[in-house]
Amino acid sequence: MSGKAAVRSELLAARALLSSEDARKAASVLARRAGDLAELAGARTVAAYVSVGREPGTRVLLDTLRARGVAVLLPVLRADNDLDWARYEGAERLVRAGRGLWEPDGARLGLDAVLAAEVVLLPGLAVDARGMRLGRGGGSYDRVLARLEEAGATPTLAVLLYDDEVLARVPEEPHDRPVHAVVTPGGVRRFTDVRP
């Protein structure tokens, strides 16, 4: 098992131990803590995602952003594992998709729609002291981050995690990119040693 696979397995096992009630409470706190991220508080367009299973909950945050008039873009997984985007119009407009995901049922905005986001909230399993994010391994968000870099877009990149998922070090590969901040129920942590 590769270094990333072993760490992923450990983290997913720990998440599986969370009760539904603990996950629900953490989601509420996480939504409040996200307000401490200044870039998110002032953003007009945010790319986010709908949490599933025991992922740190995003639904309260999505509704909070939408109620503030923020254009929230959610990913739509394509057959090639790349991400198209559609606007979040409320929980009642989400539909079940492949791999147990939830996606908006509205018009697809294209792969480059994410370039308009001032903040991109990324799913992950862990982040380390350097801001390196460990994702689930599908590569979808690696493509998004490469697209942003190629276009010269500079949104704030933040990952939403549980407190114990901020680690000293996560395995990384040459294509991995660091994030600017992590939001946990315990607060916001910024990374100053983020490579351009």
Say if residue 141 carries a ligand binding annotation. Answer: yes
Strands 156-160 vs 181-184: parallel, antiparallel or unpaired: parallel
Say if residue 116 carries a ligand binding annotation. Answer: no
Say if residue 32 carries a ligand binding annotation. Answer: no
Say if residue 103 carries a ligand binding annotation. Answer: no
The H-or-E segment that residue 30 falls in is helix 20-34
Say if residue 53 carries a ligand binding annotation. Answer: no
Say if residue 139 carries a ligand binding annotation. Answer: yes
- 3-state SS, 120-150, equals EEECCCEEECCCEEECCCCCHHHHHHHHHHH
Compute CA 58 distance to the chain's CA centroid, rounded to the nearest angstrom: 9
Q: Three-state DSSP class for 86?
A: strand
Say if residue 69 carries a ligand binding annotation. Answer: no
Say if residue 4 carries a ligand binding annotation. Answer: yes
Say if residue 15 carries a ligand binding annotation. Answer: no
Say if residue 90 carries a ligand binding annotation. Answer: no
As a residue count, the chain comes to: 196
Strands 45-47 vs 119-122: parallel, antiparallel or unpaired: parallel
Say if residue 183 carries a ligand binding annotation. Answer: no
Strands 187-190 vs 166-167: parallel, antiparallel or unpaired: unpaired
Ramachandran quadrant class, 83 (left: phi over 0; alpha: psi -120 to 50; beta: rest): beta
Say if residue 100 carries a ligand binding annotation. Answer: no
Say if residue 133 carries a ligand binding annotation. Answer: yes
Say if residue 55 carries a ligand binding annotation. Answer: yes
Say if residue 61 carries a ligand binding annotation. Answer: no
Say if residue 120 carries a ligand binding annotation. Answer: no
Q: Would you list which residues are annotated within the binding site for ATP?
A: 4-8, 133-141
Q: Would you list which residues are annotated within the binding site?
A: 4-8, 50, 55, 133-141
Q: Would you list which residues are annotated within the binding site for substrate?
A: 50, 55
